[in-house]
Amino acid sequence: MISIKPKGSTYFSLGLIVVILLAGLIMILRDFAYKGSFGLWFYLISATLITLVLLMLLVKMMAGFRFITAGRDQIIVKLPLRGYQKAYPVSSILAWEEEVVVANKREFKQLTIAFSDKQSISISNHEHESYTELVKYLHKKAPKQQVKKKKA
């Protein structure tokens, strides 16, 4: 059985950034309440921007928190924050595609799998463990459903 789960290092670094942003937001609001050393516009704009970035980062972390198990001719998808768990047989895969992007001399890969009940999952090699094993499993069990890239 192949078990795909979020990388701990990714969630640790994102969590650290969330803590830093939260501390910055608290410092800005505390400065506004006690000192007021900047103009009102600075506090309004900075607090709004930090809050938006903080919320987007938290949503990104929560949306990417999923566990996938592949083996025995099925793929089990678990989304703990939604309370969702479903087992898909390999025959219910409509299509799957692996996208590769090279940026800053690093290779970023993303795998998207579409199922027959109009659900899809996406995982990446930088955010999830056992990414390559899942791609090998799909090459072995569902080679006909792979989306072929057209050459330009």
d(CA 40, CA 42): 5
Q: Which two tokens stand for residue 78?
A: 């678990």
Q: What's the pTM?
A: 0.81
Comparing CA positions, the residue from 134, 146, 138, 139 lying closest to residue 66 is: 134
pLDDT at 151: 60
Other beta carbons within 10 Å of 47: 15
Distance from first CA to last CA of the chain, Å, rounded?
38
Helical ranges in 35-75 per DSSP H: 40-63
Q: What is the pLDDT of residues 36-73, one digit of tens each?
A: 999 999 999 999 999 999 999 999 999 888 999 999 99
**What is the residue extent of each domain of the chain?**
2-63, 67-145
Q: Which fold has domain 67-145?
A: PH-domain like (2.30.29)
Kindly state the DSSP code that residue 144 receives in the 8-state scheme.
Answer: G
Contacts of 17 (CB under 8 A, 6+ apart): 57
Q: Max CA-CA distance within the chain? A: 65
Q: What is the pLDDT of residues 71-100, one digit of tens each?
A: 999 999 999 988 999 999 999 999 999 999
